[in-house]
Amino acid sequence: MELLRKWLGHPEDIYNLLRFKMGGYRAVMPRIDPDSLGRGLRICYRYLNQTSRSFAAVIQALDGELRHAVCIFYLVLRALDTIEDDMTISLDVKVPMLHEFHSYLYQPEWKYMESKEKDRQVLEDFPTISMEFRNLSKVYQDVISDICHKMGVGMAEFLEKKVDSQHEWDKYCHYVAGLVGIGLSRLFSASELEDPIVGQDTELANSMGLFLQKTNIIRDYLEDQLEGREFWPREVWSRYAKKLSDLAKPENIDMAVQCLNELITNALHHVPDVLTYLSRLKNQSVFNFCAIPQVMAIATLAACYNNKQVFRGVVKIRKGQAVTLMMDATNIQAVKAIMYQYVEEIYQKIPSTDPSSNKTQQVITSIRAMSLPSSPMASRHHYSPIYLSCAMLLAALSWQYLSTISKATEEYVQAGEN
């Protein structure tokens, strides 16, 4: 009955989850017909589904030839990332590989058979991926090769280097996520689905990536600690503990939460750039592709803010909540309303004694100024008594069904969790 109580508290989640499962997902994530693809592209989309079902879903929703360019872009970066993650590759082998990886795109026979990583198939069958890369228009090839080169150099730089200052935190996030945002933006413009300014304004594109990456790093504190990884900047956490791992100790929970709130405040500074970037997009498929992860991120930060659970387990947004965000985030006014809703949620949780409280209030004020609701979407969670009664009855009748389908739905909503 715990599941039933959860759904009763959020009737809009029930409605949207059912609507999504019964076909509504096709409006935001239509499926590609594999029979329309050549053998090489079919293999690439299979690898895409195997390595990330969430990314596969949103990539396949893109229009025209942009879909294939982004698919190949993702697989190339996944192959690069697989090398970077593989701890069985010695540094004297790994560093040159990272530096030279972009050149392998033009070597038809290059592949790597020694990886032990779970996604090693993208390295073992790299000839198929590189062949489809070379089949892309030159304008797409140039973007993918350039970003791959820059990311490989950045990854090599941080292999044996910890993130100390906030400047280095931004630099690390730029290499692993900001460059992805810049590359995608250049692909959008190259496809002519978006104006040239989208690809030219690298500062805004970088912020799109940084907001997502910082959200993941903040949320994944405990998981990273358990796996021996540290991505929180020393400049911040050293003000609250002697070692980053100390924040997970029960006796340090108050200081840990203050550190958490400071990092979330840092991440919120990217939201104005995110809104400006999204306001420039014209193509619906590109807008959905870009907006959905961003609204998932703001919802995740709202769930994490001032939350001790970040240091005790996993903090995730509800599946129904994620589906609601996906169904709603289809235009800039809707996204502004969503951003407004979640920064207000954070604002209401700011402790007066928190060292970062003034900075948090200031950044939220700037976000409010850009996202003041001016459309019916602002009141999208206000429901009539009749609707609420029907939704509660529906919940009572269907909670077991929802439990059964939640696994199937997960592949669509994990875009906000990865």
Catalytic residue from among 186, 219, 305, 412: 219
> One of 289, 305, 340, 342 is an active-site residue; which one?
289
Let me know if 412 is a catalytic residue. no
Q: Are 302 and 364 in contact (CB under 8 A)?
A: no
Instruction: Give me 336's structure tokens.
Output: 């502004």
Which residue in 101, 172, 175, 188 is the catalytic one?
172
383 tagged catalytic:
no
Contact 370, 275 (CB under 8 A): yes
Instruction: Judge whether 297 and 315 are in contact, CB under 8 Å.
Output: no
Give a three-class secondary structure readout of the chain: CHHHHHHHCCHHHHHHHHHHHHHHHHHHCCCCCHHHCCHHHHHHHHHHHHHCHHHHHHHCCCCHHHHHHHHHHHHHHHHHHHHHHCCCCCHHHHHHHHHHHHHHCCCCCCCCCCCCCCCCHHHHCHHHHHHHHHHCCHHHHHHHHHHHHHHHHHHHHCCCCCCCCHHHHHHHHHHHHHHHHHHHHHHHHHCCCCCHHHHHCHHHHHHHHHHHHHHHHHHCHHHHHHCCCCCCCHHHHCCCCCCHHHHHCHHHHHHHHHHHHHHHHHHHCCHHHHHHHHHCCCCHHHHHHHHHHHHHHHHHHHHHCCCHHHHCCCCCCCHHHHHHHHHHCCCHHHHHHHHHHHHHHHHHHCCCCCCCHHHHHHHHHHHHHHHCCCCHHHHCCCCCHHHHHHHHHHHHHHHHHHHHHHHHHHHHHHHHCC
Active-site residue (options: 26, 31, 134, 229): 229
- Asked if 172 is an active-site residue, the reply is yes
Catalytic status, residue 78: no
CA angle 183, 418, 212 (to 5 degrees): 50
- Residue 412 in tokens: 């669509």
> Known catalytic residues?
172, 219, 229, 289
